[in-house]
Each structure stands twice: as structure tokens, then as C-alpha cells.
Amino acid sequence: MTATPTGTAPAAIIGSGNIGTDLLIKIDRLSDALHVAAVAGVDPASAGLARARRMGIATTAEGIDGLLRMPEFADVEVVFDATSAAAHARHAEAVRATGKAMVDLTPAALGPYVVPPVNLGDHLDAPDVNMVTCGGQATVPVVAAVSRVVPVRYAEIVASIASRSAGPGTRANIDEFTETTAAALEQVGGAARGKAIIVLNPAEPPLVMRDTVHCLTDPLDAAAQEEVRRSVAAMTAAVRAYVPGYRLKQEVQFTPVDEPFVPGTGGPFKGTQVSVFLEVTGAGHHLPAYAGNLDIMTSAALRTAESLVARRREGAIAR
């Protein structure tokens, strides 16, 4: 049985699959602010529910309805949704009625997008925050790093993940993934236009998550290029503070562009293409190291939830 750290905030997890279980273990091992009080799933034979029970955590196989009936739920301060975009609408409505904070790990995008090193402080009072997608958590910080130096006219990202790390939820939400990630590139990353592509790589042995980011900007001289490099390096370090396996694969690349038509811009373009190549290796808390796409989501969700709880507790003290 896992001991409950004194003074930590009770949390609940909806979803006992890979993401929910990895989140459960991360909170148990890494968080000084949270502990998991309840886990809800829909499959009584779920390995995730069995894992939670072995840790001494209350569980239910009756989904959100069962969670709301659990006595442990009364004290919960933050709820994680690790299910699917389709299910989140009902979960969000039910949790909102209880007044508890919610962190959405699905691409439902009902609440504001949150990418911790970019805009976490802007949404600490929101009742339901959305963690975008794994591709968004990996690439939006880079686009934001470029856009704080020079306007990004167009951003295109390609997220390549191991096919083995894409479970039923990921595969069912491919359309939501591309739409949500593209919107976050614009709304959080600052790109005028954004496009996202996901590739499920069937290679054996499985490869770690790799992301390519291309940003089209106005022409950049040597000084501006150096400023972009410094900005990207600082942002990479900020992400690595909570996702240790996040790193640049090589130096930021700058390519002059002068073409009569460039897809994504809708016409001729003269400027600079900034290219950044990333790799995300998982921490191996529950999932294999190649599943960096899942690791970055649960890591970002944990960082966000800790900040949400801190804000709410500060507000309670102030009152």
C-alpha cells in the first residue's frame, strides 16, 4: 500500500488504460503536491484498476457515475480525464457541477489549451483545461519560442510515434489530434496558420517519438537566427524540466525560401524556414521508453494539475 503524503491534494483519474496508469504511477513517485484518491474505469478486469487496488487506492469499474458515488470523491480537488474525446463532454459536465478542477488529456478541447511552459499561468482559474495532444505538447513550445522572436506566418509539424504506443483511444481520435494540434499551434504557439500531421511508425523495434517543426518567418539575418536559437534552447530546457527525455536532435536549421507558391501560405512566399527536430524518450514509469508521446502528456498534465491545485488553495486561504 502506498502511504498518502501529508498535506497533498486528493486527485481522481478517469480512465485506467495506459495513460491513466502511467499518470497514477507518476503522481505516486514524483508529486509532492498530489496523491491519487480514486481511479475510475469501465472494465472490471482492467490491469490499471488492479494496479490501483494493489496501491491501496479506491477504484470503480462504473466510470464517471461510479466515481461520483465514491465517498473518496468528496475530498478530491482535481480530476484527470484519460479516456477519449467523445467521452470527455459528459465527464466535464458532471465534474463541473461538483466545482472540482479538471485536467483533460483527451483532444476534446472543450476547455482552454494549456502547454505548461507557454501559457499555464493564463488558465489557472479555468474549471476544465485541455492538454492538447502529445504532438502539441512537444511542438507548440518550439513554435512559441520562434514566435516570441519573429512572427510565424505558417507552422507545420509532423509527430511520428511508435505504432505500439498508439492505443485504441489514440487511433479513434486521429482527426481530433490533427485539428486540436493545428489549432494550438495558432492559439498558443502564435502561428498565423498551423498544420499537424501524425505518423504511426510500425518499425520494429519501436522507435521513440520524433517531431519535426517547420516555421515560415520573414527573412532572418544572422543576429535574428542566433536569437531564435537561444529562444528554442531556453524553451527546450523549460520542457525538459518536467519531461527529462525531451531534447533537440540537432541544431536549429535556417533555410532561405523564395517561391512563387508555398503550401500553407496560400501564395508566394519570401522569407526563412526555421526547422527544429525533436526526440521524446519516455521515463519508463509504466510504459516503455519509446512511448514518449504518452509520457509527455502525463508529465504535462501532472505539472498543470499541481499548479491548478496551488492556485485554488491560495484562493481559499485568501478568502
CA angle 81, 84, 88 (to 5 degrees): 55
Q: Which residues contact 172 (CB under 8 A, 6 or more apart)?
A: 84, 86
C-beta neighbour count of 191 within 10 angstroms:
28
Cα 15 to Cα 49: distance, rounded to the nearest angstrom: 9
Residue 19 assigned ligand-binding role = yes
Q: Using CA atoms, how far apart are residues 292 and 93, in angstroms rounded to an integer?
A: 30
Instruction: Please indicate if the annotation marks 147 as binding a ligand.
Output: no
Which amino acid is it at 274? V
Residue 161 among known ligand-binding residues: no
Catalogue the active-site residues. Answer: 134
Query: Binding residue per annotation — 157?
Result: no
The enclosing H or E element of 253 equals: strand 253-262
Q: Would you say 268 and 277 are in contact if contact means Cβ atoms under 8 Å apart?
A: no
165 labelled ligand-binding: yes
- Which grid cell sits at 99? 466545482
46 belongs to an annotated ligand binding site: no
Does the annotation place 167 within a ligand binding site?
A: yes
Residue 119 counted as an annotated binding residue = no
Q: How far apart are CA 182 and CA 52, in angstroms?
A: 35
Element (H, E) at 50: helix 47-54
- Residue 256 burial by Cβ neighbours in a 10 Å radius (0-12, 13-18, 19+): exposed
Does the annotation flag 194 for ligand binding?
A: no
Q: Are 147 and 191 in contact (CB under 8 A)?
A: yes
Tell whether 86 is in a known binding site: no
Binding-site positions read: 16-19, 165-173, 293
Binding-site positions for NAD(+) read: 16-19, 165-173, 293
